[in-house]
Structure 1
């Protein structure tokens, strides 16, 4: 019902009543991304529903095009308008514009309705400049734009993400006393929601209330969708409550939005609960909603639950599509359960569907992710044997898989194979390989490949340049990163916030924080706003040069701007403060982070444990270790090294040695820092026997201590009269070029620990 009313409102021009049946089928705004999926079962044939004279005109138009006006036909404004509407309803937008031009040329003066149809055709063709031109021409001819005029233009501008221009037209309506209707408001609300501007969306919703224009299912679905995309699912549920209180019933599409929202929040339990709610309420779930729901369950790792739901739906009469089956296959691949994925493909065959290229690509991607490249390549052979032709995406997946394992020779062979089979590598083919080369510090090879792809007619995009700029920044090649940045500008490739953030991070790593901050200011003139990644880099940069005061000022400024700090932000703050032993501030920051519902990860726990082990309550460090394990974060070498610092600091060498053994039993490989912590800890308590044992193991593993640790151990061995061990140590020191203790060595050791 709501859809019918929407169509009627869109297609009923003011002060115009041509004789034309069934106008509700011709609107340009009849479909919304968040509108109800229900449609009328019966659609009247538009040819049968037209009056005789219009059908005659249509037949002549099909034969002669817009020249029908010159073929002795009594073409009136009314008949031309009916034909305009007919052409637009059939998607013949260029023909309708040709007809409009012919009307003008033949002396038929287009009225508001005709102008509206020309505007509608231009918007449908994506030519907003032409559409606005028609509006201007309309006004020059003293034809007043009506609600339909503005609705079509506002909708087109919103879909093109030109919200500011759409808002200007909306404000113009008020100035000219053109009354907006539900479609006007819904277009703006949907536009703002899709642009992520929830404040703008709810402001328009409030204007809608003030104007006493009632909301419909489309209105609510748009708002619910906007909130879900922003991760505000609880608020979206509140809007559902308001919607139901107003007498609307959530349909399958409403639930598809909520399924997607809870998927974004990784809430598998709520997804299952939501499905059970649809069963209780008798909500009919179509193929689209089922796909969204099953995909959501698979995304959060609840693949078996998804299969159970699919089985229930099939028992109720759902005939699963290939999309639904592929969703289940992809779900198993996401969680690395390739046996489950293969079983799902077999089930697909039992249901009478052959695996498609998409199915095979999904399986190949799954095997590539777990680096089982033999199985991935065997599937390519199998799909060819079964008559399924591998696509560019198939090869791109293999290139990415081998690239992730740094098997670059195989990647180049795959590029050659593609060309031999008539498949042209695209920007993703090259981009995957360039990304892998950059991650493996093969920056020269990555740039050579960039030149090769250009020579082969594949133009690099901003993502490819971002990989190169970021790779050079990460590995200290700032000058080359700037050169690549200048190159992309020269080639007309517009940098993104990702590009600028990479450069800012690069400047900060080189200690050039003033240049980094200048660049952060500059990006606002380029139409970007600094984000949390920008500020994280700047905060780290100032901490690294010892300017803690400036680092905290940036943090406070970030919060004032409404930019929400992440776990990474707090990690940097705690690391910076922790260097100076400010444990009270560290504890405050930790509590603040928890209050903001941010969940610590392994990197964060490691830094916090390290701070407490070095400067605070060692028991607290072990409490955090237990908390870390209980939260599901697996301790690594850094975790244990920090705990060893705590034991050594308290003089508990036996506990330290036992923890070291436990660490190795768990399969963790000690680093050079781990060994130096133990050697220094034993040296401080004059246990040079234990220190020397750890030193020998360290050397056997291919590591060597720094000058400070070597000299402390050397001095201790000599004092205890263990001259043979001392002489061997001294000899090994000379071999490694470590000769004597220096103050810088002491500072280096302190920084490492």
Structure 2
């Protein structure tokens, strides 16, 4: 009797609920027109509504009874079908509430059916609401329905939702199964949260749930994407330890990982292993290996893998050929790329947008614009639908060579095909016009951009600021900044970086600092380029105190200094003659995670070379070699010069070492050595090097000839000097004050004052004046050799030119009388 009474009460409650739900679903707001109708119409409408309500009430009651019967009879599929049809007219929460007063077992069965249907229908929000309602009732959805929902969430890339649900499942005390852990780990890996993924892995192991091959494959994939190849190898080994059999997916994933880090030997080794384990490679395996070889520019081997792939019965697809195509282009083999393109056309294999853009970019860089346009037109005729990126590639190519008419013609071609130029197109044109200093044209295209409905982006404003900055129109730079803010475009770090760069280049360091502070106050964090620009600007101005102030900010903040930062500071210190302080920065470079490079050592070498400290130069040279830093020509310039006082043998040894490193001597190197030989009076070797540099196509300059002149003086061969000067003139090098001074001084030292006077006359007639000390020596020498007339001419000419000290020197002024 008690049971029947309870059953009767539950039925009554269900009927009441049905009535409320039915009435609610039928209730609609009254139209305004019905407010003025007669009472008879109102009565009619009320009767119609009542009849509809009653019918709907009976219909719902009938469906619930039918569902209850089906569930009691265990006819689950029929119950699912009926529930699915009810979902088209009822909300999930309404249906769940209809069963809230049934028995526990019926309520749980219906909840699982409803939950599974929501998961299958991708109604995730409703499923999550239902999950909470079920849990509130003290029930737990079935493993099958939870698996369905987790799988559905992952399939739609709702990884955060997947993890939230999984955490709720664990928090409810439910013991997840292998599938659930797999989906949670997959979601964590997709979000790049490998730490969390491994926490789930550890948790499942602790709870005695053995990881599946799927889980290991997912983890290995995540590790390989982050290039954590050693950890991926550990995952592979764990698969073997757990007696799981690696699948084709496992092998392909790890092979791809090896290719990503450039370990092609291990990639091919793993491919051989999979064959031995009777896992046949597929087209993905071969494409991955081809991609790795192309990335390493090992194109011949890539072609061999293609042949092997075809031997296995696989036909290269668009992706295969695109990989090879891109590889040929990156390795600079345009001919092979062209041949492959023709092969693709012959086989009917279409080229993708990425490969086509690269191909067009290559042709544009090679200056073959006609071919680029021909290729594009052929692809369009074959049905290829280009996008803005493809056209922008050719527009950019024309801009790079300054052919703006054809660049604009390509924009017009885009528009004829129904493609509107985007902000990248306009930025390219505007930037090039600024580079060509055609400001009006640049501003005209900014106007056209707006007219065509393309809103300038922050990159556009950055192009404008950079363009005006390079033209030193700084007021326009700041006007653009104000315009950005009016248009609601927030300046970014590139915007401020351009402004700071312009100001520093113009020596406006105070304004640069104010801009820098304004940047920070607006919440734009400076990057390393901004700091380096400020440091370089202050170093160039000799303001090392402020340079180190910015450096200290970098070290204390989140923006770590780079090797460029340190090299700039070292250069600034060396220019101030503070070489020891500059060298003291070397250990700080390594302690901050950087490594000194060849520029670091070359700068220090130059500093010590200017001081004439040969020992330090040699120490630094040996140190950089021991660190594996390959010297450059800029290493040997100061090195040979700085070590010149140590004797010609050391300089010759360094010169030989330079050539052994396959470094071809340049003009500066030859000049240093020729000068060194000249100072030692070794004219033969000086002249030999002079011939060698000419044979190598290096044109000598005035310094070369001045050194050769010096060598002849050192050797006492005065008759040869005129030939050297004549050769110099024949090469189009007009002697200037330094050469004439050297000639006059040299002849004076050899007491050939008439010879010196001849060069003085040429110097004077070419509108150059010798220094007072040289004139004085020449005048006195001429006087001593009885050439008073020549001496007096020099005095009168110098006096007429107003040379300083001429009238105040008694020995010389007497000659002018």
Structure 2, gaps ≥5 residues long: 1-112, 678-684, 713-719, 748-754, 783-789, 810-817
Hey, what's the Cα distance between the residues in 2 that align with 1:526 and 1:423?
36
Residue pair 1:294, 1:327 contacting (<8 A) in 2 also: yes
Among 494, 517, 526, the alignment partner of 1:428 is 494
In structure 2, the residue matched to 1:592 is: 660
Is 1:680 the counterpart of 2:680? The answer is no
Q: Deviations over 1:403-427 (max 9, x none)?
A: 2233333322322333333333221
Hey, what's the Cα distance between the residues in 1 that align with 2:476 and 2:596?
40
Q: What's the secondary structure of 1:459's corresponding residue?
A: coil
Residue pair 1:400, 1:433 contacting (<8 A) in 2 also: yes
Is 1:86 the counterpart of 2:156? The answer is no
Q: What's the secondary structure of 1:388's corresponding residue?
A: coil
Q: Which moved more, 1:493-502 or 1:428-437?
A: 493-502
Question: What's the CA shift for 1:526?
Answer: 3.1
In structure 2, the residue matched to 1:338 is: 404
Residue pair 2:399, 2:432 contacting (<8 A) in 1 also: yes
Hey, what's the Cα distance between the residues in 1 that align with 2:302 and 2:619?
38
Among 666, 685, 703, the alignment partner of 1:605 is 666
Residue pair 1:441, 1:471 contacting (<8 A) in 2 also: yes
Residue pair 1:189, 1:222 contacting (<8 A) in 2 also: yes
Residue pair 1:583, 1:611 contacting (<8 A) in 2 also: no
Among 692, 699, 702, the alignment partner of 1:641 is 702
Larger Rg: 2
Question: What's the CA shift for 1:111?
Answer: 1.7
In structure 1, the residue matched to 2:463 is: 397
Is 1:465 the counterpart of 2:465? The answer is no
Among 688, 693, 696, the alignment partner of 1:624 is 693
Question: What's the CA shift for 1:326?
Answer: 0.6
Q: Deviations over 1:673-716 (max 9, x none)?
A: 964235424653545554565577676xxxx98xxx66335533
Q: What's the secondary structure of 1:307's corresponding residue?
A: helix
- Cα RMSD after superposing both structures: 4.1
Q: What's the secondary structure of 2:449's corresponding residue?
A: helix
Q: What's the secondary structure of 1:734's corresponding residue?
A: coil
Q: Which moved more, 1:643-652 or 1:523-532?
A: 643-652
Among 305, 311, 320, the alignment partner of 2:386 is 320
In structure 1, the residue matched to 2:592 is: 526
Is 1:715 the counterpart of 2:781? The answer is no
Hey, what's the Cα distance between the residues in 2 that align with 1:674 and 1:168?
73
Structure 1, gaps ≥5 residues long: 1-50, 630-634, 665-669, 740-753
Q: What's the secondary structure of 2:804's corresponding residue?
A: helix
Q: What's the secondary structure of 1:352's corresponding residue?
A: coil
Instruction: Pick closer, same or farther for the CA change 1:388–1:687 going to 2, 3 Å.
Output: farther
In structure 2, the residue matched to 1:98 is: 164
In structure 2, the residue matched to 1:17 is: none
Among 480, 487, 490, the alignment partner of 1:414 is 480
Instruction: Pick closer, same or farther for the CA change 1:733–1:221 going to 2, 3 Å.
Output: farther
Hey, what's the Cα distance between the residues in 1 that align with 2:287 and 2:518?
48
Is 1:206 the counterpart of 2:206? The answer is no
Q: Which moved more, 1:263-272 or 1:105-114?
A: 263-272
Residue pair 2:589, 2:596 contacting (<8 A) in 1 also: yes
- Tell me the TM-score normalised to structure 1 length: 0.74
Instruction: Pick closer, same or farther for the CA change 1:58–1:220 going to 2, 3 Å.
Output: closer
Question: What's the CA shift for 1:479?
Answer: 3.2
Hey, what's the Cα distance between the residues in 2 that align with 1:307 and 1:540?
50
Residue pair 2:361, 2:393 contacting (<8 A) in 1 also: yes
Q: What number of residue pairs does the alignment pair up?
A: 653
Hey, what's the Cα distance between the residues in 1 that align with 2:642 and 2:532?
28
Hey, what's the Cα distance between the residues in 2 that align with 1:349 and 1:296?
24
Hey, what's the Cα distance between the residues in 2 that align with 1:390 and 1:375?
17
Hey, what's the Cα distance between the residues in 2 that align with 1:590 and 1:277?
46
Residue pair 2:779, 2:791 contacting (<8 A) in 1 also: yes
Residue pair 1:434, 1:446 contacting (<8 A) in 2 also: yes
In structure 2, the residue matched to 1:380 is: 446
1:99-498 pair list within 5 angstroms: 99-160=165-226, 166=232, 169=235, 183-184=249-250, 186-187=252-253, 190=256, 194=260, 197-198=261-262, 200=263, 202-203=265-266, 205-207=268-270, 209-210=272-273, 212=276, 232-233=296-297, 235-247=298-310, 251-257=317-323, 260=326, 271-272=337-338, 275-276=341-342, 278-279=344-345, 283-498=349-564
Which protein, 1 or 2, shows the higher relative CO under an 8 Å CA cutoff with sep ≥ 6? 1
Instruction: Pick closer, same or farther for the CA change 1:617–1:558 going to 2, 3 Å.
Output: same
Hey, what's the Cα distance between the residues in 2 that align with 1:179 and 1:146?
10
Q: Deviations over 1:248-303 (max 9, x none)?
A: 66654455455555555656556545544544665431222101221233345444
Instruction: Pick closer, same or farther for the CA change 1:350–1:389 going to 2, 3 Å.
Output: same
Hey, what's the Cα distance between the residues in 1 that align with 2:476 and 2:795?
50
Question: What's the CA shift for 1:324?
Answer: 0.8
Residue pair 1:430, 1:453 contacting (<8 A) in 2 also: yes
Instruction: Pick closer, same or farther for the CA change 1:627–1:331 going to 2, 3 Å.
Output: farther
Hey, what's the Cα distance between the residues in 1 that align with 2:572 and 2:391?
45
Question: What's the CA shift for 1:203?
Answer: 3.9
Hey, what's the Cα distance between the residues in 2 that align with 1:680 and 1:287?
66
